[in-house]
Every structure is written in C-alpha cells, then in structure tokens.
C-alpha cells in the first residue's frame, strides 16, 4: 500500500484528475489573474488583502468626512436619561442640551419633538430647526 500521493499515482496517466482533458487551461484554477475577486474568489481576496477591493486599484476617497448624527426624535426620547446623567439641564420650562457632550456633531430632523428643547450643536438640518422652534425651543449653532 502506497504511503504518499507520489507513489500512489506512479504510472497513472492523470494522477486522479479524471480524464486527460480536465486539467487544461485556466478554467481549472478559476480564471487568470484577478478573475472572480468579487465572485468565486471573493473570500480568498478578502482574507489575503484585508478587505474588499473597490474600483480601479482599490481606490478609496481619503477626503471623505464622516459626521456623527442623531435624530431630534431620539434626543427627545432620551431627555429623562440625559437629565439623570447630568448631560441635560432644566432651565425654567426649557431643557438645555449640548450635543458635544454626547459626541454628536449634527442633529437631524426625523422624529417628533414633544418638549421645549434648547439644543446647541455644530450643525442642524433645516427640518430639525423647524421642529425645535415649533415647540418654542432654540437651535443654537456652536
């Protein structure tokens, strides 16, 4: 009984590869070069290069800026916990919130505002300003 593949296939014409036509061309290795990096070789390329390769030569826009955002409706719902943590302060009938203390750079306008909020942030969407001011609050840009 042979102990390794070399001696096992000694004298065999195709060495376990089926018919003599099976190991011809680049099709038996999944194509030439970078063929299939977004299809059948995706996992191999992902593990080898640490992530997907996008566009020509893996171009990634370095000037893209990411901004941390939060919806005004979410802030409105978080008011009780923000007051408990000391991030928000109550001044009269209004609630003062500085979004920089929460790590938020921009306030977006999705959601419902049910309280009078005076919010200071780096940026506001137009819809967020309208909703805050509709309830009698203020949107202060830092």
Q: List the pLDDT tens digit at each of the 142 positions of the chain.
A: 678 888 999 999 998 889 989 989 898 888 998 888 888 888 887 777 776 656 666 667 788 888 999 999 999 999 999 999 999 999 999 999 999 999 999 999 999 999 999 999 999 999 999 999 999 999 999 8
Residue 88: closest CA among 126, 47, 64, 116: 116
Q: Are 93 and 130 in contact (CB under 8 A)?
A: no
Residues sharing a CB contact under 8 Å with residue 119, sequence separation 6 or more, in sequence order: 72, 75, 97, 98, 99, 107, 132, 137, 138, 139, 140
For the full predicted model, state whether its pTM sits above 0.75.
Answer: no
- Domains of the chain and any CATH numbers: 19-62 (no CATH), 69-141 (3.100.10.10)
Q: Which two tokens stand for residue 33?
A: 């070069």
Q: Which two tokens stand for residue 4?
A: 């390794």
């Amino acid at each position: 009984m042979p102990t390794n593949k070399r001696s096992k296939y000694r004298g065999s014409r195709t060495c376990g590869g089926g018919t003599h036509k099976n190991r011809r061309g680049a099709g038996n290795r999944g194509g030439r070069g970078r063929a299939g990096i977004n299809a059948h070789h995706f996992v191999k390329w992902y593990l080898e290069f640490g992530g997907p390769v996008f566009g020509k030569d893996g171009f990634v826009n370095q000037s893209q800026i990411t901004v941390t955002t939060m919806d005004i409706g979410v802030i409105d719902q978080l008011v009780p916990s923000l007051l408990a943590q000391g991030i928000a302060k109550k001044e009269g009938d209004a609630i003062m919130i500085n979004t920089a203390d929460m790590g938020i750079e921009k306030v977006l306008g999705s959601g419902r505002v049910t309280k009078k909020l005076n919010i200071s942030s780096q940026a506001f969407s137009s819809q967020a300003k309208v909703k805050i001011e509709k309830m009698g609050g203020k949107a202060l840009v830092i």
